[in-house]
């Protein structure tokens, strides 16, 4: 049996990563974490995670950037905010998860095969380009890019939606798209 070292050396840390995340507005409280595990205890999805939310918090604080950004946990977060509501240190855990997700996308280190990162990117792209989201198109795009065969399984549902007139392939657009693009650009620059 092959043995792998699990020890972490100082070189495995990406020094400054934790500080950087904690300097983002809304993420500062992470400094106060007492590792009590309430976040994991209330998280409905923690049962599927490779690291519990508590572990992600500690790993972020101690600069284990590669492990955190590569973890499935941040993509399993369903943004139910239970952890944020219950945290005794009022850490905005869901917001930190978003911050980590953005960084994972930017650095293209998210785990392959998971539909959520693709969905997230397509969603923002759609908002950027049109100012409106069409769920049908969004779901279609996600399936095409991740698992086209899975889309076949959804065919009966699609047919049902067509029958009831809830299946629109028309992409709605807002009028001031250029203004929106400028606003979003400013937001992105501010990061």
Positions touching other proteins (CB under 8 A) are: 34-43, 46-47, 51-52, 54-55, 86, 88-90
- We find the least distance from the C-beta atom of residue 111 to other proteins, in angstroms, to be 19
Q: Is-contact 45 76, C-beta < 8 A? A: yes
CA distance 69 to 101: 7
Q: Which is nearer to other proteins, 39 or 119 (CB)?
A: 39
Q: Is-contact 138 123, C-beta < 8 A? A: yes
Q: Which is nearer to other proteins, 93 or 118 (CB)?
A: 93
- 10 Å Cβ neighbour count for 145? 13
Q: Which is nearer to other proteins, 70 or 115 (CB)?
A: 70
| 41-54 b/e (C-beta count within 10 Å ≥ 16 → b) | ebbeebeebebbbb
Q: Which is nearer to other proteins, 43 or 118 (CB)?
A: 43
- We find the least distance from the C-beta atom of residue 2 to other proteins, in angstroms, to be 23
- We find the least distance from the C-beta atom of residue 123 to other proteins, in angstroms, to be 29
CA distance 107 to 77: 19
- We find the least distance from the C-beta atom of residue 7 to other proteins, in angstroms, to be 16
């Amino acid at each position: 049996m092959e043995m792998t070292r699990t020890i972490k050396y100082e070189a495995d840390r990406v020094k400054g990563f934790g500080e950087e995340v904690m300097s983002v507005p809304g993420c500062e409280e992470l400094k106060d974490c007492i590792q009590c595990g309430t976040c994991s205890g209330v998280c409905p999805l923690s049962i599927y995670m490779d690291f519990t939310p508590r572990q992600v918090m500690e790993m972020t604080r101690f600069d284990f950037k590669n492990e955190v950004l590569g973890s499935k946990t941040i993509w399993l977060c369903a943004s139910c905010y239970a952890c944020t509501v219950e945290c005794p240190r009022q850490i905005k855990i869901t917001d930190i998860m978003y911050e980590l997700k953005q960084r994972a996308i930017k650095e293209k280190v998210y785990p392959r095969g998971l539909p959520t990162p693709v969905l997230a990117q397509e969603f923002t792209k759609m908002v950027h380009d049109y100012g409106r989201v069409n769920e049908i198109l969004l779901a279609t795009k996600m399936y095409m890019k991740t698992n086209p065969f899975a889309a076949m399984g959804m065919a009966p549902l699609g047919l049902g939606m067509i029958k009831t007139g809830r299946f629109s392939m028309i992409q709605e657009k807002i009028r001031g798209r250029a203004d929106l693009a400028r606003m979003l650009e400013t937001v992105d620059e501010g990061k």
